[in-house]
Structure 1
């Protein structure tokens, strides 16, 4: 009697099953990640009555009135977006201008001092800045920094600087020192070496670090809430808090969700625009060879 052999279709079937399992896992993770965003989009398009009706009101109660209410506010919603953009851009620029030369100097230093400085930067980066809230508030009161968008960039840049230094220092350390040595022999000064040789090679790291600083400045809430009291100077986070608390007896879920969606659009566009640089910057130095 001829012994039976496994069917040739069994490996293909197992491969198909594994592929379907991976696809289902990816779909589940994608749904888990996009779930809050999709829920905010759904809520922003529903009337309060439809939200209370739940699944029974899916066929009706769709509206754009929530977006109209947000965009027609006084001051208009675009003003908050503009304020957040200005603060985020200036904070990012100030942080990078300070961090790049300091990170270069730290990457070229060897010995125990470098380890001590790196440990101090790491401790500062993970320190909960909310504990500095009262001190920063007193600084704003003493120096008259309230209701000044430019002044708001100072604490944002200071709080972002430790993490930016750590990221850029690691990127500088990964660059071959032979490139810089050859540039010195060619007569390049330090600013010229940074401008024409080192920074172009570190483009992805600089972009990803700048985006992290920008996101922090864009989403920061407690400092902006206390430093800014004029409605025309509010950034997005405290402005949305006012929308959420605009009524004592009702919570404007639709308006708040519409403001959330509108406030997320610039960030999504920015991340999609620099997607390649972000991925390259986060993985720079991870693979050697």
Structure 2
């Protein structure tokens, strides 16, 4: 029992230490960051947050841009992945396994190799400086993993549920919307969070597709914090921006933690 407690403590420390260090850095003066053991009168300051929040354009604008892109890409991916996942789950075993292998390969494929092709498409179709257009490649890149996860969830549901619904007179879309989707809601929530996190944190595509300062997303904005150079890096401002940018993600996980835990519990019981 004590071993389990120590193991949990080690894992929590390993997981939370980077975030705690960022919080510490965000409230620290420059001398304290560069030399933690230095003897200075005051180690703490709010100047880092003031610098970030008083920037022009304002910091909340970058949060809004990332939220718009993340929400659009998540909704688009889920809407397209649900019917595709259901169709794959109802295929014969050989075809199903083949498609899942292809989906797994696509989800593991490094999307950076597609970077130049996506950039050329954006140039030809004039998709630059458009947050809605930016969500399209994010949805496409997230689609294989989303279909893979949701198809496994659909496959785990017993067929007699659908048979009973057919007897009651429900058509295909009614069965999916009223019966199947509520049953896979934990997997749906987890998949949505994964897609949103990818869209929120993605950098190379956002950097090249968006050139207007008022439309850039959060990762690009953090990289452009004023005052950074080869000889002077504003670690405190970077840390403050990182902490502020992580707060919406923490809020999302807290809001959906019941669905995530429910999904893990259901899998444990089923196994």
Alignment partner of 1:46 is 2:24: no
Instruction: Report deviation, 1:280.
Output: 2.7
Instruction: Show CA shifts across 1:76-132 (max 9, x none).
Output: 000000000010001000000000011001101114222221111111011011111
Cα distance between partner residues in 2 of 1:75 and 1:207: 32
C-alpha RMSD over aligned residues: 1.6
User: 8 Å contact 2:66–2:218 — kept in the other structure?
Assistant: yes
**Structure 1: where are the runs of 5+ without partners?**
1-17
Compared with structure 1, are the counterparts of its residues 31 and 187 closer, same or farther at alpha carbon in structure 2 (3 Å cutoff)? same
Instruction: Report deviation, 1:27.
Output: 1.8
Cα distance between partner residues in 2 of 1:284 and 1:127: 30
- Stretch deviating more after TM superposition (268-277 or 26-35): 26-35
- Stretch deviating more after TM superposition (253-262 or 40-49): 40-49
Cα distance between partner residues in 1 of 2:40 and 2:137: 46
Q: Which residue of 2 aligns with 1:236?
A: 218
Cα distance between partner residues in 1 of 2:139 and 2:213: 23
TM-score normalized by the length of structure 2 = 0.95
Q: Which residue of 2 aligns with 1:31?
A: 13
**Structure 2: where are the runs of 5+ without partners?**
none
Instruction: Show CA shifts across 1:234-261 (max 9, x none).
Output: 1111111112873343000000000000
Q: Which residue of 2 aligns with 1:103?
A: 85
Number of residue pairs aligned between Structure 1 and Structure 2: 271
Compared with structure 1, are the counterparts of its residues 288 and 51 closer, same or farther at alpha carbon in structure 2 (3 Å cutoff)? closer
Alignment match of 1:78 (pick from 60, 69, 78)? 60
Cα distance between partner residues in 1 of 2:263 and 2:86: 17
Instruction: Report deviation, 1:283.
Output: 5.4
Alignment match of 1:128 (pick from 110, 124, 137)? 110
Alignment match of 2:242 (pick from 255, 260, 269)? 260
Greater C-alpha radius of gyration? 1
Cα distance between partner residues in 2 of 1:123 and 1:286: 27
Instruction: Report deviation, 1:33.
Output: 1.0
Instruction: Show CA shifts across 1:184-243 (max 9, x none).
Output: 111101111111111111111111111110010000111001101111001111111112
Give the SS at the match of 1:232: coil
Q: Which residue of 1 aligns with 2:73?
A: 91
User: 8 Å contact 2:31–2:38 — kept in the other structure?
Assistant: no
Q: Which residue of 1 aligns with 2:182?
A: 200
Q: Which residue of 2 aligns with 1:113?
A: 95
Q: Which residue of 2 aligns with 1:7?
A: none
TM-score normalized by the length of structure 1 = 0.89
Instruction: Report deviation, 1:273.
Output: 1.1
Cα distance between partner residues in 2 of 1:276 and 1:74: 38
Cα distance between partner residues in 1 of 2:12 and 2:157: 35
Q: Which residue of 1 aligns with 2:200?
A: 218
Instruction: Report deviation, 1:24.
Output: 2.8
Alignment partner of 1:274 is 2:235: no
User: 8 Å contact 1:44–1:256 — kept in the other structure?
Assistant: yes
